[in-house]
Amino acid sequence: MILKVARLGHPVIRTPAYPIDPAKIATPEFQRLLDDMVETMREYSGVGLAAPQVHLSIQLAVLEVENHPRYPEMPSVPLTYLINPTVTVTDAAPLGEWEGCLSIPELRGRVPRFKQLRVTALGRHGEPLDFVADDFHARVIQHETDHLKGEVYLDRMPDMKSLSHLPEWQRYVIEPAARAARNKS
């Protein structure tokens, strides 16, 4: 089932999420929610979706990057379920890249993110996860775990001047970069 996505301004987007009781993970209701979140993320071409974005203040996010139309050049990230994630920064070098958010439609902004993280969480069946994420993968996790704290990418922008509407971003950022790349080759 495709879930309704909460947009910026709905209080749930600004509410810190509660940890999930691990005993609930195996219940049919929770497993159905996981399926619905993946379906919703794919329907709206997101690379991640956090539970507050579907009106639930619980510490759950899903992510997946696979031949993504918005990020065709980005390395793929397998479908991952993060329940009660904790993140430790292991390389704080800031990397600037463009981000958008299903809860902040039609906008893109440049956001600095840490280069590398260690992530611990519970997975889809309550199994412990412990892995290191770099670069774009680390970016997606920082974006989604921010949602669990009631934060959005706009809060991470030191300078709002890059904030762009989607058609203007295509026209003045993406297309000139693609032209420059073509001319170089």
Residues 6+ apart with CB under 8 A from 128: 120, 121, 122
Query: Binding string, 97-116, against Ni ion, x = CB under 5 A?
Result: ----x---------------
Nearer to Ni ion, 5 or 121 (CB): 5
The full DSSP string for the chain is: -PPPPP-BTBGGGGSPPBPPPGGGTTSHHHHHHHHHHHHHHHHTT-SEEEGGGGT--BSEEEEEESS-SS-TTSPPEEEEEEEEEEEEEEEEEEEEEEEEETTEEEEEEEEEEEEEEEEEEE-TTS-EEEEEEEHHHHHHHHHHHHHHTT--GGGG-S-GGG-EEHHHHIIIIIHHHHHHHHHH-
The least distance separating Ni ion from the CB of residue 48, rounded to whole angstroms, comes to 7
Binding range to Ni ion, per CB under 5 A, among 87-95, 96-104, 110-118, 175-183: 96-104
Q: Whose Cβ is closer to Ni ion: residue 25's or residue 85's?
A: 85
Q: Give 101 or 122: the residue with its C-beta nearer to Ni ion.
A: 101
Q: Which residue is nearest to Ni ion (CB)?
A: 101
User: Does 151 participate in catalysis according to the annotation?
Assistant: no
Instruction: State in angstroms the smallest separation of the CB of 143 from Ni ion.
Output: 6
Binding of Ni ion by 140 (CB under 5 A): no
43, 64, 97, 144: which one is catalytic? 144
Question: Quick one: which segment of 20-28, 68-76, 93-101, 111-119 binds Ni ion (CB under 5 A)?
Answer: 93-101
Q: What is the DSSP track for 160-173?
A: GGG-EEHHHHIIII
Number of residues that bind Ni ion (CB under 5 A): 1
**CB closer to Ni ion out of 25 and 99:** 99
Indicate which residues carry an active-site annotation. 144
- Residue ranges in contact with Ni ion by CB under 5 A: 101
